[in-house]
Amino acid sequence: MPDLVAAVAEPNRRRLLQLLGYGEQTVTVLASHFTVSRSAISQHLGVLAGAGLVESRREGRFQRYRLKPEGMAALRAELDSFWTHELDQLVRDARHITHASGAEGVQ
């Protein structure tokens, strides 16, 4: 299973996902929003495609990219799960600290 969080950890990749949220676009159009090379954008799109977050199709000489709904749903589920676990751990830690110090108030 691809590491979806690692795939979107890079800021340019997150921006690509945001741009693709407006609909299918070519690499050239996407690259126009960045200061990095078109080749770098293609590499980032390759990482996102490998993670199952985007897909592409050829139209003539153009490669068109779009979000992959099931991949985005998997990312959302992974992020939701991560934050639920992290918040639960913070609550457990706070309770432990409160009980260890004998303080009251944290339930």
- State mean pLDDT over 62-67: 96
The pTM of the whole model exceeds 0.85: no
Instruction: For residue 20, name the pLDDT band (cuts at 50, 70, 90).
Output: very high
Residue 102 pLDDT: 63
Structure tokens at 89: 């751990």
Helix segments in the chain, DSSP class H: 4-7, 11-20, 27-31, 38-50, 69-101
Q: Give me the CATH code for the 4-101 domain, please.
A: 1.10.10.10
Extents of the domains making up the chain: 4-101
Distance between CA atoms of residues 30 and 64, nearest Å: 10
